[in-house]
Structure 1
Amino acid sequence: MKQPIEELPPKLQEIIKLFQAVQESKAKYEQLLFYGRNLKPLETQYKTIENKVQGCVSQVWVRAYLDSDKNVIFEADSDSVLTKGLAALLVQGLSGRPVEEILRVSPDFAVLLGLQQSLTPSRNNGFLNMLKLMQKKALQLYVESEKGGNSINDLAEDNQVGNSDLRLKNDGGIGKSNVKESPSALESSVGNGSELGNRGTRIKERLEKELRPIELEVEDISYQHAGHAGVKGSNGETHFNVKVVSEEFEGKSLVKRHRFIYSLLQDELQNGLHALSIVAKTPSEVDPQ
């Protein structure tokens, strides 16, 4: 079931309605090029590996930061006018919105734009990868803001949903979880074909103890971030994907599930863990196969 357009950020709704009003594919394509030509260039200093979108035909970079109200501001650039147009749609549609709202956006909204016939499969895939990176950066901004602000424990006890709240629906940024329901056994996996190191083992044991998950996956993806500035003592274990299916999440919003996991792993976040990508579901939410 596709996400209703009414649940999308207001500016993104406006962009979708504008493209839906244009019937001809060629006209949609020209509209896209117009967006690309009017996208503000990204300063060279921000065209880094960490800001680069992977899996795109062209080179694309995305920068994100929080404004004074803790809303996310995006900037982007590409060496292709067409790809710049796709980036501009997301920059205009998502900038200035709370982290929670950005992470609520489902990738299937792209269907509403009606651009499939105007784009190659690789371009469509690159567009979704841009959204993934933007949502991932929103998550990272949340983590960094919590390191320098209120403790995660304080946030976990807060009953109000504010601009710094977040929800992550995917592995690495967006989409549906690959976790399959298996109530009879606990499933754990590690990334890159190797055993978990000390930090990964601690994360796994902590989550098993506190959440009693039906399914659990802890994947160390630090090897994908070679050259990323590490923290002394982190032993290179800086980036993880975590997928949890637990009855402990029943009755909790996705925001509070993430807050809970961050509270459990606060020590790791303060001592070298740079990024944590989370899928948190209840058994009833796992897609039947």
Structure 2
Amino acid sequence: MTSAALPEELAAIRDDFLSLEKPERLQLLLEFSQQLPELPARYADHPDLLERVVECQSPVFLFVEVDEKRIVHVFMTAPKESPTTRGFASILAQGLAGLTVEQVLAVPSDFPFELGLTEAVSPLRLRGMVGMLGRIQRQVKDKAA
């Protein structure tokens, strides 16, 4: 699948990263890490509802809702001490917010590699983001069925 399938918000995030020099891309990732939305109380008070993303070295948890209009809502947590991982979680939480089931499922699994971070971030961390996306898409599939 090509990046042409990217929803507008994810494409804009990708383009923001690619418009920067490589050292500045890490700074943008750090900015995203500071913008990860807080969990709503219904999940903050019930961490047992969240799924652990085992592909990440850091403890990352997520939960997906699909509403009656087939709009996807993504909720994620990642520790503040893990800014790279938290940045990836924030990119996905913000970039997938408000998309339809079909749009989320159409995001290519290699999207994390399109951000131009392969030289700045370890392959293990990028695979963690791929794992986050895969788990989000699986939950969307399950909840939309």
User: In structure 2, how many angstroms separate the alpha carbons of the residues matched to 1:90 and 1:128?
Assistant: 10
Q: Deviations over 1:84-131 (max 9, x none)?
A: 110111111112111112111112222221111121122111111000
> Which structure is larger by alpha-carbon Rg, 1 or 2?
1
1:214-225 → structure 2 map (5 Å cutoff): none
Q: How many residues are matched? A: 140
Counterpart for residue 103 of structure 2: 101
Counterpart for residue 30 of structure 1: 27
Counterpart for residue 51 of structure 1: 51
Q: Which runs of 5+ in 1 are unaligned?
A: 144-289
> How many angstroms does 1:4 deviate by?
2.5
Q: Which runs of 5+ in 2 are unaligned?
A: none
User: In structure 2, how many angstroms separate the alpha carbons of the residues matched to 1:139 and 1:7?
Assistant: 18
- Normalising to structure 1: TM-score of the pair? 0.46
> How many angstroms does 1:49 deviate by?
7.0
User: In structure 1, how many angstroms separate the alpha carbons of the residues matched to 2:2 and 2:64?
Assistant: 26
1:239-250 → structure 2 map (5 Å cutoff): none
User: In structure 2, how many angstroms separate the alpha carbons of the residues matched to 1:102 and 1:83?
Assistant: 20
Relative contact order higher in (CA < 8 Å, ≥ 6 apart): 2
User: Quick check: 1:76–1:87 contact (8 Å CA) kept in 2?
Assistant: yes
| Percent of residue pairs bearing the same amino acid type | 28
Cα distance change on mapping 1:46 and 1:130 into 2, 3 Å: farther
Amino acid across the alignment from 1:89: I
Cα distance change on mapping 1:117 and 1:46 into 2, 3 Å: farther
Q: C-alpha root-mean-square deviation of aligned residues, in Å?
A: 1.6
User: Quick check: 2:30–2:87 contact (8 Å CA) kept in 1?
Assistant: yes
User: In structure 1, how many angstroms separate the alpha carbons of the residues matched to 2:83 and 2:46?
Assistant: 19
SS state of the match for residue 97, structure 1?
coil
Counterpart for residue 36 of structure 2: 39
1:110-121 → structure 2 map (5 Å cutoff): 110-121=112-123
1:6-85 → structure 2 map (5 Å cutoff): 6-24=4-22, 26-42=23-39, 43-48=43-48, 50-79=50-79, 80-85=82-87
Amino acid across the alignment from 1:8: L
Q: Deviations over 1:66-92 (max 9, x none)?
A: 234221011111012221110111111
> How many angstroms does 1:50 deviate by?
4.9
Structure with the largest fraction of helix: 2
Cα distance change on mapping 1:136 and 1:45 into 2, 3 Å: farther
User: Quick check: 1:48–1:61 contact (8 Å CA) kept in 2?
Assistant: no
Amino acid across the alignment from 2:28: Q
1:1-289 → structure 2 map (5 Å cutoff): 3-24=1-22, 26-42=23-39, 43-48=43-48, 50-79=50-79, 80-143=82-145
